[in-house]
């Protein structure tokens, strides 16, 4: 138990990543007892009650280069919790808060600990409509799915324009994107490597479930028109193939690199069909956009569907689950309870 009054002296559990002798490469994350003084600076301390596992968290825990960029580091890019102490006028002890991204878990100590010390300008008040567990279920992946949908809407796409293709459909961003799009009245084509999850994806609202195999290989630079838009989490050939088969005047929101960071595409969809490629970043998205995204999530995400696509684990099991996520063996979203 962490007591607000004795916080400065309390020791708590944290996943801890140190650098090797070169000072640049991460050693495997290990559990450590730490004090608040060992966390990065910030004007608000938060008792972490919940967090989650995103693709990026999986990469950080696997020691992938380029994610953990400061040492020692507490990984975990999403914090959901209660304010313990605050030097900010915007927050007071007891407030329920959410944090997604801003380099937390990468260059600023993050969520895989019982306490986080954060900057108040990064924090959102958790909407009353969302329990802490559901806010963690949404996490960066869910909020990014909302940003992708908002990008397509801002471009002018409506359900009348035709279906939206979603890659990585069984993963975090993909499953939330399908739930959102279906609630908004869009037909969706779910591309997945796990066609055995077809019933699950149809339960979330997917109109059609197709094998991602047809997208992951090099395809024609310009194909038959099949969808009005797409949400892509994969990059590489998948993104190139999605662009090549987007209807005249359509748009693809690209947020991920699960297949690869390359984009082996041609300009044909852009110059012959006026297709738009919309980049989506959640990490440094301005606060006003985040607030809008959370208002929309409260309004447009079916919370019972969110529950069906989420599984709950304990913080102690985070490393094991993250390794599975990188192997594509985790469906939907993970809620991590932090005691
Ligand atoms: P998940 O691991 O939950 O989902 C990724 C899914 O992508 C997998 O479940 C799988 O879905 C699919 N996939 C995996 N490998 C491949 C492959 N080689 N080719 C094609 N598809 C593949 O991750 P998240 O949903 O958390 O993140 C998805 C991506 O979005 C990641 O690259 C992540 O870094 C990025 N991201 C970017 C953000 C931003 O701010 N731009 C924010 C959040 C995420 P299936 O089995 O259904 O095929």
Domain that holds residue 248: 140-279
For CA atoms 297, 300, 304, 307, the dihedral sign is negative
**Residue having the nearest C-alpha atom to atom 4 of ligand 1:** 171
> What is the whole-number distance in angstroms between the Cα of residue 117 and the centre of ligand 1?
28
What burial letters (b/e) apply to 194-219, b meaning 16+ CB within 10 Å?
Answer: beebbebbeebbbbebbebeebbeeb
Work out the average pLDDT over 229-238: 98
Looking at residue 26, the DSSP 8-state letter turns out to be: B
> What is the whole-number distance in angstroms between the Cα of residue 176 and the centre of ligand 1?
12
- Whether residues 317 and 268 fall in one domain: no
Q: What is the pLDDT of residue 5?
A: 64
Q: What is the CATH number of the domain that holds 234?
A: 3.40.50.720
pLDDT digit string (tens) for 72-89?
999 999 999 999 999 999
Whether ipTM > 0.95 holds is: yes
- Whether residues 41 and 169 fall in one domain: no
Tell me if 236 CB under 6 Å of ligand 1. no
**Does 3 have pLDDT greater than 80?**
no
- Whether residues 148 and 257 fall in one domain: yes
> What is the whole-number distance in angstroms between the Cα of residue 328 and the centre of ligand 1?
9
**Residue having the nearest C-alpha atom to atom 33 of ligand 1:** 256
Q: What is the pLDDT of residue 84?
A: 95
Q: What is the pTM of this model?
A: 0.96
**Does 208 have pLDDT greater than 80?**
yes
Tell me if 322 CB under 6 Å of ligand 1. no
**Residue having the nearest C-alpha atom to atom 20 of ligand 1:** 259
Q: What is the pLDDT of residue 1?
A: 47
Q: What is the CATH number of the domain that holds 22?
A: 3.90.180.10
**Does 2 have pLDDT greater than 70?**
no
Share of the chain above pLDDT 70, in %: 99
Number of domains in the chain: 2
What span, in angstroms and rounded, lies between the C-alpha atoms of 195 and 203? 14
Kindly state whether residue 20 falls inside one of the protein's structural domains.
Answer: yes
């Amino acid at each position: 138990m962490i007591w607000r009054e004795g916080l400065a002296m309390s020791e708590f559990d944290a996943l801890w990543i140190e650098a090797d002798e070169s000072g640049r490469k991460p050693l495997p994350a290990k559990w450590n007892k730490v004090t608040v003084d060992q966390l990065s600076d910030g004007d608000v301390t938060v008792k972490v009650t919940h967090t989650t596992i995103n693709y990026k968290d999986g990469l950080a825990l696997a020691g992938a280069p380029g994610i953990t960029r400061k040492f020692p580091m507490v990984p975990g890019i999403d914090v959901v919790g209660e304010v313990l102490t605050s030097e900010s006028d915007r927050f007071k002890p007891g407030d329920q808060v959410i944090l997604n991204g801003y380099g937390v878990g990468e260059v600023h100590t993050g969520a895989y600990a019982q306490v986080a010390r954060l900057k108040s300008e990064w924090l959102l008040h958790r909407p009353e409509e969302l329990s802490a567990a559901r806010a963690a279920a949404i996490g960066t992946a869910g909020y990014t799915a909302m940003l992708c949908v908002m990008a397509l809407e801002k471009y002018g796409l409506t359900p009348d324009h035709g279906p939206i293709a979603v890659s990585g459909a069984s993963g975090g961003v993909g499953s939330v994107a399908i739930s959102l799009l279906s609630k908004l009245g869009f037909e969706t084509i779910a591309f997945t490597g796990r066609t055995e999850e077809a019933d699950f994806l149809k339960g979330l609202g997917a109109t059609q479930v197709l094998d991602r195999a047809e997208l992951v290989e090099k395809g024609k630079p310009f194909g038959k028109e099949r969808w009005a838009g797409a949400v892509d989490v994969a990059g590489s050939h998948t993104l190139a193939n999605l662009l090549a088969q987007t209807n005249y005047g359509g748009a693809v929101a690209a947020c991920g690199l699960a297949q690869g960071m390359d984009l082996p595409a041609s300009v044909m969809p852009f110059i012959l069909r006026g297709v738009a490629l919309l980049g989506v970043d959640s990490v440094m998205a301005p606060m006003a956009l985040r607030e809008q995204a959370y208002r929309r999530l409260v309004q447009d995400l079916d919370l019972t569907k969110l529950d069906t696509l989420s599984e709950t684990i304990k913080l102690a099991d985070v490393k094991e689950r993250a390794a599975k996520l990188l192997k594509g063996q985790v469906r939907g979203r993970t809620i991590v309870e932090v005691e």
